[in-house]
Amino acid sequence: MNAFDTDVFSEILLGNAAYVSRLSLIPADQQAIPIIVAEEILRGRLNVIRRAEARKSKISVDLAYRSSFGISFSSAAISTANSTLNFLPAQR
């Protein structure tokens, strides 16, 4: 099992060619992110939306939602990923 930390997973989400290329060498059933990484990514994206809503950002609310979740208020389009992530439970 290969678990990705927040920095690496962020680069994958941003489409960094070096990270995506390396990811493609790992079988999908061997890819995972710890649940804390999922939480950090979600909190970051929600913060972008909150800042846009409060007009503390240079992007619109619509763009904040589209860049965060693939949702557009103007078209109500939702894009979904074609793959499933394996989540690892948080270590206690």
| Per-domain residue ranges of the chain | 2-80
8 — phi, psi (to 5°)? Answer: -65, -45
Query: Per the structure block, which two tokens stand in for 90?
Result: 């948080």
Helix (H, G, I), strand (E, B) or coil at 33: strand
* Residue 26 DSSP symbol: S
Beta bridge partners of 33: 87
Query: Per the structure block, which two tokens stand in for 89?
Result: 């439970």
Helix (H, G, I), strand (E, B) or coil at 8: helix
Beta bridge partners of 87: 33
Query: Per the structure block, which two tokens stand in for 17?
Result: 């060619």
What pLDDT digit, counting tens, does each position of 28-72 carry? 999 999 999 999 999 998 999 999 999 998 988 888 888 877 655
The pTM (predicted TM-score) of the whole model is 0.65
